[in-house]
């Protein structure tokens, strides 16, 4: 868990704003209701995650391409908070990019230079109280498909990671953020970093609010090839994954990738 200088007021403000959006009248949210992934701001409820797998949650997604989204497009009830929070996420991303580059033994500006985290999708998640929690999940088991996720959760709990085949609780810690490695980071690190599988339980308590910031490449970088960096490939760690275009990975994730447990095998050599 990390938190490099995101003021606690900004985090609390973001959680409250997310709750405010979701607790509006249905008619006010429906303006944003859409299944079209090309829309920069969209609201969705429950829905199919994979064949036979549904989620017990509502989601408002705001997509910042190259760190930018027209403020007018953001719902007014959460506009100020979303802008402020994303500004902090962008700052924290720079710190994370440096730390992760160094952890890979690369120059500290490497991940920033390849622009693999220069766009953000900010997801405000709302998990209503579930009357029959044993029948479903808030968010089914998955690993994140992008490079990095910074996650903020409220005090309710329910997030779990899969560790040695066991589900382990990630208890809420006030003022803390969770950093999740995504599949694409696992690939370019040649398995030095692992994208952990996680899920959120449906619960008889709540509602639970969380905010996930998913980082993906800039529009310029999305047209370039990514793959394990040569410096990371040694005799004892031969190349596991092939090169890929981000647009290709995006298409895979939104089509066939929806029906497999993990998309990583698709990228193996």
What residue ranges bind ligand AKG (CB under 6 A)? 123, 125, 139, 144, 151, 153, 159, 198, 200, 210, 212
Instruction: Name the residue with the smallest CB distance to Fe ion.
Output: 144
Consecutive H or E run containing 49: strand 48-50
Tokens of 96: 């994370």
- Beta carbon of residue 11, minimum distance to Fe ion (angstroms, whole number): 18
Using CB under 5 A as the binding rule, whether residue 81 contacts Fe ion is answered as no
Cα(97)–Cα(104) distance, integer angstroms? 11
Nearer Cβ to ligand AKG (139/190): 139
Phi and psi angles of residue 88, each rounded to the nearest 5 degrees, phi first: -65, -35
**Pick from ligand AKG, Fe ion, none: which does 58 bind, CB < 5 to 8 A by kind?**
none
Q: Which two tokens stand for residue 188?
A: 């370019």
Which residue blocks in the chain are alpha helix, DSSP H? 8-22, 26-30, 79-103, 110-113, 183-188, 246-254
Nearer to ligand AKG, 188 or 213 (CB): 213
Closest to ligand AKG by CB, 99 vs 156, is: 156
DSSP 177: B
Q: Would you say 112 or 158 has its CB closer to Fe ion?
A: 158
The residue with tokens 């910042």 is 64
CB 151 → ligand AKG: shortest distance, Å?
A: 6
Min CB(123)–ligand AKG separation in Å: 6
Minimum CB separation of residue 199 from ligand AKG in Å reads 7
Q: Which residue is nearest to ligand AKG (CB)?
A: 210
159 binds, among Fe ion, ligand AKG, none (CB under 5 to 8 A by kind): ligand AKG
* Least Cβ distance, residue 105 to ligand AKG (angstroms): 28
Of 93, 215, 80, 204, the closest CA to residue 145 belongs to 215
Beta carbon nearer to ligand AKG, 104 or 117: 117
Residue 106, exposed/middle/buried by CB under 10 A (0-12, 13-18, 19+)? Answer: middle
Which of ligand AKG, Fe ion, none has residue 78 at its interface (CB below 5 to 8 Å by kind)? none
Report, in Å, the least distance between residue 46 CB and ligand AKG.
13
Between 144 and 183, CB nearer to Fe ion? 144
Using the contact rule CB under 5 A, the part of the chain among 108-116, 138-146, 202-210, 225-233 near Fe ion is 138-146
Residue 55 Cα distances to 48, 138, 206, angstroms: 7, 5, 15
Cβ proximity to ligand AKG: between 55 and 101 the closer is 55
Beta carbons of 170 and 243 less than 8 angstroms apart: no
DSSP of 228-247, one letter per residue? --GGG-BTTB---B--EEHH
Q: Is 144 in the site for Fe ion (CB under 5 A)?
A: yes
Measuring CA to CA, which residue among 16, 12, 21 is closest to residue 58? 21
> Tokens standing for 30?
């429906």
Residues that bind Fe ion (CB under 5 A): 144
């Amino acid at each position: 868990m990390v938190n490099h200088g995101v003021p606690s007021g900004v985090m609390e403000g973001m959680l409250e704003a997310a709750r405010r959006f979701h607790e509006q009248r249905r008619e006010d949210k429906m303006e944003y209701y859409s299944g079209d992934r090309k829309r920069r701001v969209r609201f969705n409820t429950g829905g199919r995650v994979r064949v036979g797998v549904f989620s017990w949650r509502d989601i408002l997604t705001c997509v910042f391409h190259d760190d930018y989204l027209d403020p007018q497009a953001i719902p007014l009830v959460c506009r100020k908070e979303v802008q402020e929070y994303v500004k902090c996420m962008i700052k924290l991303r720079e710190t994370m990019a440096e730390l992760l580059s160094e952890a890979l033994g690369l120059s500290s500006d490497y991940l920033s230079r390849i622009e693999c985290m220069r766009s953000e999708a900010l997801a405000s998640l709302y998990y209503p109280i579930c009357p029959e929690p044993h029948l479903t999940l808030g968010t089914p088991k998955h690993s994140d498909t992008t490079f990095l996720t910074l996650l903020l959760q409220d005090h309710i709990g329910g997030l779990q990671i899969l560790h040695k085949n066991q589900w382990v609780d990630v208890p809420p810690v006030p003022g803390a953020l969770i950093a999740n490695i995504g599949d694409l980071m696992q690939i370019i690190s040649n398995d030095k970093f692992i994208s952990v599988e996680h899920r959120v339980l449906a619960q008889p308590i709540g509602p639970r609010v969380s905010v996930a910031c998913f980082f993906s490449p800039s529009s310029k970088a999305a047209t370039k090839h990514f793959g394990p960096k040569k410096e990371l490939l040694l005799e004892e760690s031969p190349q596991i994954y092939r090169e890929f275009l981000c647009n290709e990975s995006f298409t895979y994730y939104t089509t066939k990738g929806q029906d497999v447990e993990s998309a990583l095998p698709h990228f193996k050599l």
